[in-house]
Amino acid sequence: MTAYILRRLGLILLTILVASMVIFIATQLLPGDVAHVILGQFATPAAIENLREELGLNRPAVVQYADWLARFVTGDWGDSMVSGYAVRPLVLARLRNSFMLAVVAFSLYVPLGIALGVVAAVNADRAIDRVLSALTMVFVGLPEFVSGLILIGTLALSWDLLPANSSINPDSGFVEAFPYLVLPAIAISLTCLGYVARMTRASTIDVLRSDYAMAADLKGIPRMQVLFRHVLRNSLLPTVTVVAVSVGWLFGGLIIVESVFGYPGLGRLLVYGIQHRDLTLIQACSMVVVTIFGFANLLADVLYGVLNPRIRFAQR
């Protein structure tokens, strides 16, 4: 098990490292001359040369990358190219906000998705399963900005149940912010809900058809006990992976949903950075998202190992 976790951890770190290279290349090398970007097209060649020297842009790319990565890992995420403030406190504050939104979304779609999937599986090929399958299919296919706008149009504007705009004070606490979190959380949840429900349905149907589910039935174990003790324990294994991977999806979805609702989170900060060509900000936001994505996957693998005795007790 230790070896298993270590190997996974190594792979995830490697993934993050590769992603960091891509981010670095995309933000620092490809846009051409960063000094040009900062000073604008009317800058004098001498000023540009000065800035290049100052930023270390004359060094070889590999050295630049190593330097950048080292500083990033040690917590020096650089200063904003637009405002000049340090990027790190800003990104971390917005990360907190996004995290609040993610928690609400997560606790919405995980239990609901599993429940819908199990209900559909137990009633496989009956009317209720068909309805649920069609519904989850729609959820998966619906882009966040469409579902977001529909939610705003109905729940907020027509029925006035919840606020349509979530552009709250970035420093609000959770309780204060909660009413503003619900709509965007639902909007992000739908896609993930669809995935979780469909995965749960598929794997639960497989397990319900397995020999050991039949054997459990024919032992005379009460139906509910068969479902919870024998079936779900095995059928939720693939779901665990999907749930953990969906955390990455979630943070991807944030970029759109936070913009639609005007919510001050990491996603909106990233969009802001892109709009203003604030390369340092883009780098920091992307690296945070990549790291979250990576560790969500690690969590998935570890959970899978803990739940699956074949891995928990494996020699290799």
Partner 1 sequence: MDKHLSRSDGISVLEIRGLGVAYASESGQLETVRDVSLKIGRGEVYGLVGESGSGKTTLARAVVRYLPRNGRISSGSVLLNGIDLLRLSPAEMRRVWGAKIAMVHQDPSAAVNPSITVGEQVAEVARIHLGLSRGQAWQKALEMLAKVQLPDPGSMARRYPHQLSGGMLQRILIAAALVTSPQLLIMDEPTTSLDVTTEAVILDLIRDLLEGYETAVLYITHNLGVIANVCHRVGVMYAGQLVEEGSIQQVFKHSLFPYTMGLMGCVPRIDVVKRGIHLNTIPGFIPRPGEWPRGCIFAERCPIVEDACKDTRMPLVERAPGHLTACRRWMEMDQVHLAFGIKDKVRPELNRAPGSTWLEARDVKKHFGSRPSWLTRALKRESAIVRAVDGISLRAQAGSTVGIVGESGCGKTTFARCVVGLEQPTAGEVKLDGKRLGSTWAKRSPEILREIQIVFQNPDASLNPWHPVGTSVGRPITLRGKLPRSELDLQVRQLFRAVRLPEDYTSRLPNELSGGEKQRVAIARAFAASPSVIICDEPVSSLDVSVQASLMNLLAELQASNETTYLFISHDLAAVRHLSDRIAVIYLGQIVEMGSAESVFAPPFHPYTEALFSAIPIPDPDVHQERIRLRGAVPSAMHIPSGCRFHTRCPRKVGGICEDHEPPWQDAGDDHLIQCHIPLQQLLAMQNSNADPNAVSVSAEP
- Which residues sit at the interface with partner 1, rule CB under 8 A? 2-3, 6-7, 10, 210-212, 214-223, 229-230, 233-234, 307-310, 313, 315-316
Shortest distance, CB of residue 236 to partner 1, whole angstroms?
10
- Coil vs helix vs strand at 173: coil
Q: Which of 40, 39, 60 is nearest to 50 (CA)?
A: 39
Amino acid letter for position 145: F
Given a contact cutoff of 8 angstroms between Cβ atoms, the answer to whether 187 and 144 are in contact is yes
CA distance to 37, 79, 278, 307, per residue, from 43 (Å): 10, 21, 18, 60
Shortest distance, CB of residue 211 to partner 1, whole angstroms?
4
State the chain's maximal CA–CA distance in angstroms: 86
Shortest distance, CB of residue 242 to partner 1, whole angstroms?
18
> In this structure, is the dihedral angle defined by the CA atoms of residues 138, 202, 232 and 297, taken in order, positive or negative?
negative
Given a contact cutoff of 8 angstroms between Cβ atoms, the answer to whether 246 and 234 are in contact is no
Q: Which of 255, 257, 124, 121 is nearest to 196 (CA)?
A: 121
Identity of the residue, 40 or 316, whose beta carbon is nearer to partner 1 in the bound complex: 316
Q: Which residues are bridge partners to 304 per DSSP?
A: none
Identity of the residue, 71 or 223, whose beta carbon is nearer to partner 1 in the bound complex: 223
Q: What's the N-to-C CA distance of the chain in angstroms?
A: 8
Identity of the residue, 30 or 224, whose beta carbon is nearer to partner 1 in the bound complex: 224
Shortest distance, CB of residue 213 to partner 1, whole angstroms?
8
d(CA 293, CA 31): 25
Tokens 């050295």, located at residue: 63
Shortest distance, CB of residue 312 to partner 1, whole angstroms?
8
Given a contact cutoff of 8 angstroms between Cβ atoms, the answer to whether 277 and 37 are in contact is yes
Shortest distance, CB of residue 217 to partner 1, whole angstroms?
7
Half-sphere exposure of 279 (CA within 13 A, CB side): 18
Shortest distance, CB of residue 61 to partner 1, whole angstroms?
30
